[in-house]
Amino acid sequence: MEQIRGGVTAAKGFEAAGTAANIKYKDRMDMALIYSSAPCKVAGTFTTNVVKAAPVLWDQEIVKNSPYAQAVIVNAGIANACTGKQGMDYCRGEAQTASGLLNIPENSVLVGSTGVIGMQLPMERINEGIRKLAAAKDGSIEAGTTASRAIMTTDTVNKEIAVTMELEGKTVTIGGMSKGSGMIHPNMCTMLAYITTDAAISKELLQEALSKSIIDSYNMISVDGDTSTNDTCLALANGLAGNAEIKEKGEAYDKFCEALDFVNTYLARKMAGDGEGATALFETTVINAATKQEARILAKSVIGSSLCKAAIYGHDANFGRFLCALGYSGVQFDPEKVELFFESKAGRLLIYKDGAATDYSEEEATKILSEPEVTVLVDMKMGAETATAWGCDLTYDYVKINADYRS
């Protein structure tokens, strides 16, 4: 497996576009299209929130019942959530417009929205946007990058990646783009992730690979503990790489999964580091936990704690907050046995051992915590399982962005 330049247009047969449709933002792109020249197997994972946005309900139906998918239309600015029957009609309207312009079936068009909840989409501008997207789409690397920029809301950087691998003598590519932060605990700005691949793979295995892949990628990030109404991760596979279709588990499936995990973990980590208002990526790795699930719960409890996040922002080695967050996670353990380290490019420091602080240097700890990527490493000494979670620091700007977001 090798990382290459590009994103959703890296795999064969995929085209993309971005445009400014004036949905809510002024003077910036806010709509994107992904299109495949060949019909795609499609898999999806969606928010667990009981309140699901209209595009989530629409996409769930397509993933479940359509024979294939061929396009995704995404808008930023308005989430089309809490919009009742009208919201569902607008999803169908988007699919109809795209269907006519791209000459593909209505039920092969997926839609995605991110932004303010409760507002209705301005359908005239949406349809005009789809017309512009259909006219502008192409298969260049640049078109993929444009699409990844067009789905940003409070994101400060676009997020895309592509990798290739050899499967039985054929070059297979997976590309992806995402915006926002989180899946289990996402930012209200919503996490949207779109994965495109030219691999030939059965729908069942594509779904299984995706469902498994999100557990240790998107599901291990949190910006603010709020699970959005819109979270969506879709994977489209058009089979144009020409590999023998992956229909059962084995070497080819494993290689595909490894590449898919790499892509999803990259995008997830990137989202966490670009959390609203963040100045640092805050990573927590738990080692030697009794079970994998406990390792995950412990790591997520730490990166989800407001007080730990504020300590990272303040470059403050306030290690008690990290112990505290482990302690209320729900996992049982002996605090006397745990060891806690701070780690970054600037070094690695044992902070807590045998139930109390070590004789560490505050100066060195502050230096380590002042890096843009900071890791809290926790050794539970209970078993052999490991998990990593990613979050970001809690800053004035997070409050500013979210107190002012709608106005």
* Residue ranges that bind its own copies, judged by CB under 8 A: 48-52, 79, 81-87, 116-119, 188, 224-229, 304-307, 310-311, 313-314, 316, 318-321, 323-329, 331-333, 335-336, 352, 354-357, 394-396, 398-400, 402-407
- The alpha-carbon radius of gyration of the chain (Å, integer) is 22
Burial letters 300-311, b for 16+ CB under 10 A, else e: bbbbbbeebbeb
CA dihedral of residues 140, 143, 144, 146 (deg, nearest 10)? 160
Give me the least distance between CB of 100 and its own copies, in Å please: 28
Q: Could you tell me if 32 and 74 are in contact, meaning their C-beta atoms sit under 8 angstroms apart?
A: yes
Among residues 26 and 50, whose Cβ is nearest to its own copies?
A: 50
Give me the least distance between CB of 114 and its own copies, in Å please: 12
Active-site residue among 190, 196, 265, 284? 190
Neighbouring C-beta atoms of residue 333, cutoff 10 Å: 18
Q: In the structure encoding, which two tokens stand for residue 363, read together?
A: 């100066």
Burial letters 162-181, b for 16+ CB under 10 A, else e: bbbbebeeeebbbbbbbbbb
Give me the least distance between CB of 128 and its own copies, in Å please: 24
> Is 190 tagged catalytic?
yes
Could you tell me the CA-to-CA distances from 62 to 59, 76, 207, 236 in Å, in that order? 5, 21, 13, 12
Among residues 4 and 399, whose Cβ is nearest to its own copies?
A: 399
Among residues 18 and 304, whose Cβ is nearest to its own copies?
A: 304
Among residues 27 and 404, whose Cβ is nearest to its own copies?
A: 404
Give me the least distance between CB of 75 and its own copies, in Å please: 16
Partners of 261 in the β-ladder: none
Neighbouring C-beta atoms of residue 132, cutoff 10 Å: 17
Partners of 348 in the β-ladder: 343
CA distance 301 to 293: 12
In 153-241, alpha helices (H): 203-213
Among residues 258 and 405, whose Cβ is nearest to its own copies?
A: 405
Give me the least distance between CB of 293 and its own copies, in Å please: 16
Among residues 282 and 333, whose Cβ is nearest to its own copies?
A: 333
Q: In the structure encoding, which two tokens stand for residue 258, read together?
A: 């490894």
Q: Could you tell me if 111 and 91 are in contact, meaning their C-beta atoms sit under 8 angstroms apart?
A: yes
Residue type, 272: A
Give me the least distance between CB of 297 and its own copies, in Å please: 12
Any idea which residues carry the catalytic annotation?
190
